[in-house]
Amino acid sequence: MLLRVQPGRMDITTQRVAIVTGGSRGIGRHAAERLAADGLAVVVGYGGGKVEAQEAVAAITAAGGKAIAVQADVADESAVAALFDAAEREFGGVDVVVHAAGQMVLSTVVDLDLADLDRMHRTNIRGTFVVDQQAARRVRAGGAIVNFSSTMTRLQVPTYAGYAASKGAVEAVTLILARELRGRDITVNAVAPGPTATALYFDGKDEATIARAAAQPPLERLGTPADIAEVVSFLAGPARWVNGQVIYTNGGIA
């Protein structure tokens, strides 16, 4: 249980605290459980998956960790402020923010319903901005902000234009915020997973498409949520000299 108080030194007297948006399922849940295993108290932020969020909290507490679940629409500034309020009220502050909430709608440019585009960008772009705004105001010195981009920003894969555009915006916000927090001893990075075995990834894909994706990396498999959570753990804790970066976590696709 660690709280960094100044560069190069640790104080083991105070437990660090993490907020994980999208923490009720998929990569977000694995990140929440990994951070709890690392000794952090965790606030599991969720949108609509109340039962799943409660299950995540139960899993963390059963393993000896501390966690609560808080509902928040990540694009609603009042709801996100209340999420941070809950973390501060329950655990005394915020040291790590992992923004894993996101939406993915796949379609060619010519066929994409603009309502779906707006909904996806509201969560992925506005949501990132709103969460990062609160994080920039509240994360304590020695803390970390971890956003989620996607390897699809580097690959010109048909049907991903709207989603990749939203994740390109996440990268821009991440890199600029890292520089705006100069002097605060807070790192800001983004993780950019490749194809990862989650419900979000499998939705709408046939077996042949999934098999082709699994064959792409030199490691010849899809990523797992645990693979991604390992990188989140690194950025949230020991990676104090990694800042303003996009970490492509894809088994070697690109």
Q: Above 60 in pLDDT, residue 242?
A: yes
Q: How confident is the model at residue 173 (pLDDT cuts 50, 70, 90)?
A: very high
Q: Which domain holds residue 187?
A: 3-249
188-126-202 Cα angle (round to 5): 85
Q: Above 90 in pLDDT, residue 4?
A: no
For the residues 167-189, what does the mean pLDDT come to?
A: 98
Helices 77-91 and 127-138: angle between axes, nearest 10 degrees: 40
Could you report the per-residue pLDDT of 20-68, keeping only the tens digit for each?
999 999 999 999 999 999 999 999 999 999 999 999 999 999 999 999 9
Domain CATH for 174: 3.40.50.720
- The string of DSSP codes covering 90-112 is HHS---EEEE---------TTT-
Could you report the per-residue pLDDT of 64-91, keeping only the tens digit for each?
999 999 999 999 999 999 999 999 999 9
| Cross-strand bridge partners of residue 17 | 41
Q: Is 112 exposed, middle or buried (CB count within 10 Å of its CB: 0-12, 13-18, 19+)?
A: middle
Q: Model pTM?
A: 0.91
Report if residue 254 sits inside a domain.
no
Q: How many CA atoms lie within 13 A of 59 on its CB side?
A: 19
Q: What pLDDT is recorded for position 86?
A: 98
Report if residue 231 sits inside a domain.
yes
Report if residue 115 sits inside a domain.
yes
Q: Above 70 in pLDDT, residue 1?
A: no
The rounded distance, in Å, linking the Cα atoms of 239 and 254 is 22
Tokens coding 4: 């960094």
Q: Above 60 in pLDDT, residue 12?
A: no
Q: Above 90 in pLDDT, residue 114?
A: yes
Backbone φ and ψ of 158, nearest 5°:
-55, 145
Catalytic positions are: 163
Report if residue 103 sits inside a domain.
yes
Q: What is the CA radius of gyration of the chain?
A: 17
Q: Above 70 in pLDDT, residue 134?
A: yes
The rounded distance, in Å, linking the Cα atoms of 39 and 32 is 11
More confident residue, 168 or 12: 168
Instruction: Tell me what percent of the residues of the chain surpass a pLDDT of 70.
Output: 95
Number of domains in the chain: 1
The rounded distance, in Å, linking the Cα atoms of 25 and 142 is 27
